Every structure is written in C-alpha cells, then in structure tokens.
Chain A
C-alpha cells in the first residue's frame, strides 16, 4: 500500500535541508516501527518519494511525501490514523503530520505533478527606494520582469513575470489563519505569492530580488526575507490548477 503523507515543517528545523529531511523520514519510520518497502538492488533504499524540495530556511504548512509500505506490514486503510499519530510522535520537534491518505498507484508523482506553490513571505521594507506595496504594483502591472540568474555558471537574463501567478499583500484573514507562533518576533510586509515550479521555477528569494531595489554589491535576499512559509501546492488537472490536497480549483485568477 502506498500512502501520501502531508506534514508541516516549522521553526528552527527550517534550517535543515532537503537531504536532511529525507534522512529524518528514514529514521522516523524506523522509530515508529512502520515497515517500508525497499527498493531491490545492491543497496536497497526505502521506497519514499518526496515532493518539491523546500529551500533551506523556508517553512511549510504543506509538505508531501509518498511512502510505499511493506506488504508484510499488513497495514490497511483503518490503520492510517494510528500511523499518523506514531509518525508525529517520532518526528523531530517542528515537524508534524497534518494528513494521511491512501495513494493510488496511478496518481501522478509529486515531483512531476506540482506546477506551482503559494508562499506567505515577510519582506523587510527597503531603507531606500519604493516600499514593498509599490513594488508589488509595479511587478503585477509589468508585462515583463527581468532578473539575472545563473545557470551552469553562466548568467542569463530571464523574464520571470510569466511565472508569477499571484502576487498581493496578505490580508488580515489569511494572516490570522496561520499558526499563532509562526511570525514570532519577525516583522516585515506580509505578501502572498504563487510561483511556478515547472521548468525553471521561481524561488521566493528571486521574487525578493525584484521587489527590493538593486544595489552594488548585489543584495542578499535573505537580508530582506525575514520569514517564508509555503501554504499551498498546486497540481494541474484538465488544464486547471487545483489544490493538491482537496482537488479544488484555484480561486485566484492565474494572471494578476
């Protein structure tokens, strides 16, 4: 049986990387005594498939992992709630299971299926130059937003505007729906952004680079990005962007 587990990653643990998280899951499953199917071959690995890598330093309310259970474990759908509890107990502080369900073998893989993710970002207002609200207006009203990015050691000038699917200041309702301790002592202008992940995706730090004024030497986006939280992941179904968990269509229009 294959299960799809949704989990949150919040707090200090956000400074661990994608590989670290993979190792944490391996240890967690063994601690919880949940038998995972192993790949065949010279060095068998547990059959786990991760969704999109969460950048080191970013938090998330919605991370995904597909786990193929060992048939000998005899796990049925009725056991899933207890498995979720066992996993949450065994996961490190800052990570907890938020959902679990059986995953049909025919479902598209997480790596391929997810086309966009939505972020809440706390961006520090720049000391000079236009404020973040003005910068947002500028970006969404532009037909083209150019950013120099590095690929294989070479610099390329990319138009990232098509990949910005949603960009706005976060409203109070959204902010109050987030975990109470998430913001902590951090501050900044709260924005919501849905960014493409297909092709050469757009990272939250790259969005920050176009929102704050350029300087020499170039800014370190992390000087401005106080916190960043993934709140949604989207897959494409019948040409429509739908929520990976609920299957509901996106209610924000694709073009801003």
Chain B
C-alpha cells in the first residue's frame, strides 16, 4: 500500500482546479490503516465540489474512523481532464486523504444521490482497476457497495454492484464492517466472495442483488426471489431511531477550495410527513425524527468554531417545521455589531407568512431573494400531488416577503405531473403574475422568477405507477409557460432542457435489463450525465435500441396495481397498499394531512419498524401548516381517471 502522490503530483498543475485532489481539508482525518482493519473507500461519483459537502459521506467517514476495526478515506470522480492523464499513465482511482489506490481498500462504497451519476460509478470502478461487472470480480477485488436515496431502486445497477444498503448508514456500517473483517482475517480465499455476500445479506438493510433471481414474462416481471436458502425474501430499509444519539459530523469538513455548499451544515431533523406524493425523499426517510434543540445549538457553536465558517445552514426536508426553530434562531441569530456573527440559511422552507418572518430574522441586511416551492399552478393539481398550499398561503407569504424588504421571489414548479392539463400549466404563470401584483404594492422593482423542472416519477412513492411525460410533451409544456411569461411583466422563466429526464426516468424505475443500457452509455463516453455539456440524449436512445428495449415500456407507460415493480422485494417501510391508496386518492384530488399532528393513517413505517415520530411539539407550527386543520373539501369532488398519454395536454 503506497501513496500514488508522487505520480499524481506532476499532473496536477496541468489540470483545472487541482485543489480537488489534494485533500488536506480542515476536519480531515489522518487515516490509520492496519492489519485486521476493514478499509472503506467512501466514494462520491461526482466532482469534488459537489461531493465534498455531502453530509451522509462525512458522517460515515467519521463514524468508521472512530471504530478500532475500520479505517475510511474519501474519493470523488476525477474531472475529465485528470481522468485522461490518469488513464494515459496507468494511474488508478485514488483516495484524497492519503492518495492510496482504490484497489487497496476492502470496500468501495458509493453514495448515490441521483440516478444520473450511475455511469460515473461504472467509470470510477473501472478506473479503480476493478471489473465493472460484479460476476467477474475475484476475492482480491474490493466489494462495491451503494447507498443513498438513489439506491432505493438498485436494480439497474444490479450487474455492477455487490451490495446495496437501504436507508440510513450510521448503524449498519458497523455491522458490515464486522462481517467483512472476518472475511479479511480468513484470507479472502478463492470462492469466498459468495460466502461473504451471503453473510452480508443476513444484515437487515443489506441487499445483495446477485443472490436474487428475476424471472420475466415477456416484458413484465413474473417473480423476484432469493436463489439460496436463508436469504430474506424482502429487504427492509434501516432507520436510526433517535437522531440525538448521532451528533455527527462532529468534525465537519471545511475544504480549502470553493464547493457548492460552502458553509457549515447542521441537520435539524430527518424524515418528512408532509406527504408530497412526488417526493421520494419525503417517503423513504420517514418517520420524522427531530434533533434536540440544545444539540442543534451545540453543533452550530462547535462547528463554527472548528471550521471558522460564519454561515450555517439548518438542513432538513422542511426546516420551518422543526419545532425548535424559533428558539435556535433566537439564540444564534447574528448580532450585527459583533464581527463574525453567523449568518443562518434556511433551505427547504414552507410557503407561509410565518416562514417569511423566520427568513427575515436571519437575513440581516441582505435581501437577495426568497424561494418558495408551490410545485403546481392550480389548487386542483396541488391536491393531486398533496402539496397543500392555497393561493392565500402563497400570496400571504409573498406579501410578507415584499413587505419585509425583498424585491425578488423565486417560485419552483414541476411540470409533467399526473392529471396535469394545460390549464394547470398556464396556472403557473397566473400564480407568478399574482405574486408580482402583490409585490408591486410594495416596490416597483418587484419581480418573480419561475423555475420549472420536468417531473420524474420515483420508486417507493405513490407516483411510482405513473407514466412519465415524454420529452416532447415536457418541452411543449415548458414552452407554454415561456410563451405566457413573455406576455407577463415582471415574470422570468428558468428551465432546463428536459431531455435528461428520460435517462433519469429510465434509471429511476428500470429493472435489471437497464444495466446493459447504462454500460453502453458509459462505454460510449457518457459520464457526468448531470452536467448538461456532457449529456447526449441520443446516447441513451441508441443504447436502448441496441438492447431492444422500449422507452415507452420503461418510462412513459402507466403501471397497474398487479404489476410486479422491479423494487418489489425492497421496502422503505411503506405498505404497498398505502402507496396504492394514496395514488388513487391523488387521482381523486384528495389531500392527506400531516400525520405529525393528525391521526396516523398507517403508511406502515412506524408500525412496521417499531418506530415513532420524535417531534418536540404536539401542535403544528405557527402560521400555515399546509393541510393540517385546513379545509380540504375542495378536493375529492370529481373523480379523475388517467387518460391515455396520447391525448395532448393531459397526462
């Protein structure tokens, strides 16, 4: 095990942003390798600036390095310029901590936060000198694992990975370490790879695709079942019961070069029960578990002191829902007379006046712009997706924002949602125009930016049965919004070309046959697919055609209740019945309240896992509560059925 640094060093002055590859961050741990220690290489399959801030990776890095039987280092996808030089000179994938070769590690563990990075994983495994296909690996090769949100449907990656971990990693990584340690101590003999995989499959939350067989009936899946006795039929995700037991990262990483979220991050709670039906994160991270407010405060104070940052982001899926939010903000809110007082940023805010009040409290003198996410243009469609924001909520929030000195608001919308008609799509601009009108009462400079994204249905959500809109249909809808905006003063529209949504849709709900497509795209040079300059739609379509697979079958087709979905044997804790009923409720425009403050509707997570919500306050937060206690009677009147996708302007 030697460092590759001396071979890498002469290349770094020749590539862009060489600080990506040096490590040396504040908080970085000097790795202590040793006999009998399981060596983890934690990999983020995107460029350093995107991967370094990832909290999941930082948490596992620290927990593993605290264990006497483990050591962990980090690696990120080398940018294309360095990769070319590395391949030219035969330099393998390396860790940024001690610049060790990836093949010197026992486990190559990838954090997947999006499906579009799948091809980068293949590229990094290949760059590591490890066979890309799991079946070709020998006992001397590291185990390739994945985790993170995009690992909840690991089937398209089944050919390339040894192990997928479902859910939260804090506890399960220790259990994995113990099994792999035994394998290592036993000498990793010929044929032992199957044995260690079988042992790993006994750990709850650990899924080993090669131990399961998938049988097809034409295009459809007939059955998914274990190939060996003693392998569980269903793998259930892992969840830590109390976030207060896991006050990580304790040594947050502060990089030496600019990264995407260049500030301290403190996670205030995990899970979300707002119940937005399009949101995979909200569905798969349940139940809600708040961090004790006192711990949040001490993590902020310690983290700022360690890193020297003067900005902290309080992260969660909806930070204004944190019951300790006011007390935390009041105790750390910047004192303008003191140098170095922290700025607080609140991502993922709810849409209501209370939230704007919080934002005003933390904004200090800066009023750059406030972002809200109504997601859909009409109340009808918002009941379909269960984003229960009334127009009054939105206008109240905007009123409050402009009255507090903001002159810009940004509104996030999705298009291509179930049951969406052109009336809903045009409603986006009507809402934006309404917001501008509210703003004009306060400032002549009032303007609203609409940011619009194409909806991609995800596994383990009520919309997992929905046929995604085609790329031309998404383009047409974005065009409607753009056209309407040109006639509306004060409204700007931002959008991304929706062509990547095809690849994302394919990878999100694909089965094992999609692996061959992913491999083709990678071999054709399709890396960094999240970067529009590297994304080519034709690569994906050509690969589909070459494999004889139909984009319609995988992407735009509605599924029915009886269909065995590719992730049938994997569970995020949600009852399949609950998801199906919620899907029907959605089509009936029926909103569902937040179960933190209303009776349980038995989604399955708490009951199935012996968990419960950990929320400090028994009452909903002040101000809007989106659904809780609101009049939802406007929903549920007209049952809606899904029309065939050929009827333009509908689904």
Contact = CB atoms under 8 A, between A and B. Distances in A.
Give the interface size class of chain B. Answer: 20 to 34
B21 interface: yes
A56 B18 CA distance: 8
Interface in A39-90: 42-43, 46, 56-57, 70, 90
Contacts of A220: 14
A90 B308 contact: yes
Interface stretch (A11-19, A151-159, A241-249): A11-19
A93 B24 CA distance: 7
Interface string A106-126: 000000000000000000000
Contact of A15 (B18, B26, B305, B308): B18
Interface stretch (B189-197, B254-262, B612-620): B254-262
Given A15-B12, A24-B256, A30-B308, 11 more contacts: A15-B13, A16-B256, A17-B19, A20-B19, A20-B256, A27-B26, A28-B308, A30-B309, A35-B340, A43-B366, A57-B13
B365 interface: yes
A15 B310 CA distance: 24
Contacts of B365: 42-43
Contacts of A29: 308
Contacts of A70: 339
B10 interface: yes
Interface string B1-26: 00001100110111000110111101
A185 B2 CA distance: 15
B588 interface: no
A15 B9 CA distance: 10
Contacts, number: 79
A223 interface: yes
A231 to B, nearest CB: 19
B451 interface: no
B138 interface: no
A30 B309 CA distance: 8
Contacts of B22: 12-13, 15-16
Contacts of B24: 12-13, 92-94
A56 B20 CA distance: 12
A225 interface: yes
A223 B14 contact: yes
Interface in B297-315: 304-310
A65 B314 CA distance: 33
Interface of B: 5-6, 9-10, 12-14, 18-19, 21-24, 26, 254, 256-258, 262, 304-310, 339-340, 365-366
Provide the main secondary structure of the chain A interface: mixed
A31 B308 CA distance: 5
B256 A13 contact: yes
**Most central of B6, B254, B257, B304 by chain A CB within 10 Å:** B257
Contacts of A27: 26, 254, 307-309
Interface of A: 12-13, 15-17, 19-20, 23-24, 26-31, 35-38, 42-43, 46, 56-57, 70, 90, 92-94, 184-186, 220, 222-223, 225-226
A70 B340 CA distance: 11
- Please list the 10 inter-chain residue pairs (A to B) with the smallest Cβ-Cβ separation, ordered nearest first: A27-B308, A57-B13, A31-B308, A15-B18, A222-B13, A30-B308, A12-B22, A16-B19, A20-B257, A35-B339
Contacts of B305: 31
Contacts of A35: 339-340
A165 B386 CA distance: 72
A38 B339 contact: yes
B26 A92 contact: yes
Contacts of A92: 24, 26, 256
A12 B340 CA distance: 29
Nearest to B365: A42
A186 B9 CA distance: 10
A19 B256 CA distance: 10
Nearest to B367: A42
Nearest to B342: A30
Contacts of B19: 15-17, 20, 56
Contacts of A42: 365-366
5 contacts: A12-B23, A16-B19, A26-B310, A27-B26, A57-B13
